[in-house]
Structure 1
Amino acid sequence: MTKWMVIGIGGATCSGKTTLATRLHEKLKNSILMNQDTYFRPKDDPRHVHIPELNHHNWDILDSLDIEKMHSDILEILSSQEDDDNRGEIRLLIMDGFLLFNYKPIYDLCDLRYFLDLSRELCEQRRSRRVYDPPDVPGYFEAVVWPEYLRYKREIEDNEQVMRGIIFLDGTGDSNETFQRVFREISQKSSEN
């Protein structure tokens, strides 16, 4: 059976999670990349939490995602049989998502967990340059995005066991330095296995 190492990259919206995960995937052979954003529920899904005062769904909570499907897909990947080309090599599953570590079944699967933190000002500035589908409505960042991020981060900080299992990184730092650090740590951990 294939031996897997699972890397989780979580943190604030627009903190560089996907950029880091993509660079790692491109550099690390035998890796698979999984992005939590592909698991958003369809816009018309009745399980969305609607915010009447904004006339907009809350896209920044676990209920906005089919997180159980993501977990199921992860388990399917991790149970896949090795092929002749990869026999004996460690395979890597690299995941990124803003709520990876708030869903315990996914948190528990990760061998390495990185959390990219970001200041409110920089987060808002970066997010204002992004295009979302559906687009953010006026006031959404202030009323939903940032408060939900703080709540999500507090859930992690309030759980000592979870906190010990996460490496916190500065999302405002040099992205190349962050990549080099994470790449070294993954390489070192994979050579130990």
Structure 2
Amino acid sequence: MMQSSGVVNTLLIAVSGCSCSGKSTVVKELASFNAHSLMVHQDDYYKPAAPQTADGMENWDAIEALDTVKLLQDVKALIQDPSKSCPACLSANDNEENNQHIVYIEGTMVLDIGKLSELLHTKIFITLSYDECLRRRRQRWKDYIDPPGFFDGCVWPMYMKRETTLLKDLTVKVIDGHQTKEEIVKTFLDVNK
């Protein structure tokens, strides 16, 4: 257990970007480098129902589909005392003091949450082309097919809206999602030296 006299530093890193751009995969890889890493996944914060488009389609890519209040509360709790949720800290073998905790927050919309964005130390946005995003979505979910019009009516327009905004934000580091997982991780590590 971590001793109470130890000073805990918490680094917050958000990884956002296009659907199927490798956000979760990259975060898992990055977290494996530090035993004191924690992950917050946007997918755990969806509300039971999403807002509807003018066509009556549920838009799960709209920020209103997320319980952003709960997500922000959970992140603030991790900032306050990351050791309560850190498996390495809870381990009887962890006697290190002054552990630096890294909290990775990943999802397509995490950089849309203004109050969360203000807390972040690093903001990553992974880009992807239309064709590659569509190809990966079809490959990833072999048993699931987007409802007709969902990709072109919700997924892609919401991504393009985010991309347009975030590419103007100089605090956001942009990474090309067409690279391999290893290349993306290396790029991430290079921009965070």
What is the alpha-carbon distance in structure 2 between the residues aligned to residue 156 and residue 70 of structure 1? 21
In the TM superposition, residue 180 of structure 1 has moved relative to its aligned partner by 2.1
What's the counterpart of residue 56 of structure 1?
A: 57
Within the candidate set 118, 122, 130, 1:120 is matched to: 130
Within the candidate set 39, 54, 57, 1:33 is matched to: 39
1:13 and 2:23 matched? no
What is the alpha-carbon distance in structure 2 between the residues aligned to residue 12 and residue 81 of structure 1? 28
1:79 and 2:84 matched? no
**Number of residues of Structure 1 aligned to a counterpart in Structure 2:** 178
In the TM superposition, residue 129 of structure 1 has moved relative to its aligned partner by 2.2
Within the candidate set 164, 168, 182, 2:174 is matched to: 168
Q: In structure 1, what residue type is equivalent to 2:177? A: G
Q: What stretches of structure 1 move > 4 A for 4+ residues in a row?
A: 81-84, 132-135
> What are structure 1's unaligned runs of at least 5 residues?
189-193
2:46 and 2:67 in contact (8 A); partners too? yes
In the TM superposition, residue 133 of structure 1 has moved relative to its aligned partner by 10
1:180 and 2:182 matched? no
TM-score by length of 1: 0.83
CA RMSD of aligned residues (A): 2.2
TM-score by length of 2: 0.83
In the TM superposition, residue 147 of structure 1 has moved relative to its aligned partner by 0.8
> What are structure 2's unaligned runs of at least 5 residues?
1-6, 84-88
Aligned counterparts, 1:85-164, within 5 A = 85-131=95-141, 136-157=146-167, 160=168, 163-164=169-170
For residues 107-130 of structure 1, what are the alpha-carbon distances to aligned partners after superposition, in whole Å with 9 as ceiling and x for unaligned? 111111111000011011111223
Distance change (3 Å), C-alpha of 1:104 and 1:52: closer
Distance change (3 Å), C-alpha of 1:103 and 1:133: farther
Q: Which has the higher helix share?
A: 1
Distance change (3 Å), C-alpha of 1:49 and 1:134: farther
For residues 7-49 of structure 1, what are the alpha-carbon distances to aligned partners after superposition, in whole Å with 9 as ceiling and x for unaligned? 110111111101100111122221101111111111xx4xx31
Identity percentage of aligned residues: 24
